[in-house]
Amino acid sequence: TTATTTATSMGNEFVGQQQGDSHSDGPRVMKFRTHFVNSVFDVMTHFGWIHVDDDSWDVYWCDVGWIRESFDGRALADHARVCHFPTHYELTRKDHMAKNLKKMRRRLEKENGRGAGSKCEFMPETFWLPHDYGIFVEEFRRRPGSVWIMKPVGSAQGKGIFLITKLSELMDFRRDDRFEQKDSTKPSYIVQRYLPNPYLVGGKKFDLRIYVLVTSYQPLTFWLYREGFARFSQHPFSMKDLSNTFVHLTNVAIQKTAKDYDKAKGCKWLMSQVKRYIKAIHGADACGKMLEEMDNIIITSLQAVQPVMFSDKHCFELYGYDIMIDNDLKPWLIEVNASPSLTADTASDYKFKYGLLEDMFTVLNIDGRRCGDELRVGGFDLMWKNGPVYYPFPEGKTGSSTIVKNSNLGGDITDRKEHLLGIHARLREQQAQQKRNTIHSISSLNSDITKRTSGK
């Protein structure tokens, strides 16, 4: 009958769409646009996505200049994604980050009492020059003998950074036209208290690069990557020579210019190695406390910028958090990068960054790679979704409560490939079950129609 034919046709169309075959046109080919030729390009190409130079893209791995000058979410298809938020600088510019943290601290203390602002005490004292010059001078004089580090607010890779111990050195800089900002194309600076007691491994200073993927600011939703890495200086730490960048700056762009730099080995440890080292030297409790404080840095910094961050459904951002640990195992936020380097220095670095990006695109689920309810995807753990995310204790394990926070910084990712395969298998089974359910529903509908028509 006509009714039976229509019902069957509707069922076949639905099943075809579940398989990515809408009206027999075949699955939509994903297109991406980027001018970066590094691991980002390699991963998207490996997925089978097509590189384009026009505006027909589904994913645009753009630079921050494009997002600031050209982004208009209203003109994009619902599924389209770009790799920055328009107001990312509220988090990634050092002066804005310091300002937003101070605002949050004042708000917390006003609402919950003076001690409530202590959760924001993870960034060294920071002043924006020339705006905060007078306040800085007062603080400088209260801390005789202290060392301060000058940084351009929007630069990266250690460019333009230098250390000062005397106001006269700042006065020399103040006479420079960079300080007065007559030319808006020249960077303004922040001055930050330099940490004189960094935690050392083998006598060398290091900082940690940690990756956080934000998929939304309204509601705040972000994923924490289990693995990261430590970047070591080439030379033993000393406060005697403040001009030696190979001692005081851990940026790879700086360190690889040293004469004794080993290109094959690089100057990095994985975060999991750092975790094992600290756990072995200081014990599990001290290491766990340090990791909890790192979690607080990530959560609080993102909460601090959430009210001023323009959130658009087309946007996501992979941030590179730079954190330094002092001798007391207290972590300090140095800066947050909107465009962390994804160009590899060594073969092992390439393998790490390739896996990071493969997991990231699976989280984003732009081309339907997962069911959507996962708490872990490869090396990423869903840490926050409009509030902290928890997961049940694994079977056979016990604890003080039945749930624990879904944070595994420094955790194992050796099974990430198998985990992704498991996610894909679960998706295929879900799709197959949907197909079976649909066929059963259509069959039942056809049977009912046949009974009604034969009874007339």
**Tens of pLDDT along 233-251?**
888 999 888 888 887 887 7
Work out the pLDDT band at 6, boundaries 50, 70, 90.
very low
Residue 26 reports pLDDT greater than 50: no
Question: In what order do the strands lie in the sheet containing 126-129?
Answer: 126-129, 189-193, 148-152, 162-164
Could you give the CA distance from residue 70 to residue 62 in angstroms, rounded to a whole number? 11
Query: Between these two residues, 1 and 230, which has the higher pLDDT value?
Result: 230
Query: What pLDDT, on the 0 to 100 scale, is given for residue 180?
Result: 53
**Which band of pLDDT confidence, cut at 50, 70 and 90, is reported for residue 153?**
confident
Q: If pLDDT is split at 50, 70 and 90, which confidence band does 225 have?
A: very high
Strands 380-385 and 376-377: antiparallel
Least confident of 4-13, 33-42, 78-87, 208-217: 4-13
Residues present in the chain in total: 456
201 close to 329: Cβ distance less than 8 angstroms: no
Span 443-456, average pLDDT = 74
In terms of C-beta density within 10 A (0-12 exposed, 13-18 middle, 19 or more buried), how is residue 256 classed?
A: middle
Residue 382 contacts residue 374 (beta carbons within 8 Å):
yes
pLDDT in the model for residue 250: 79
CA–CA distance, 224 with 218 (Å, rounded to integer): 18
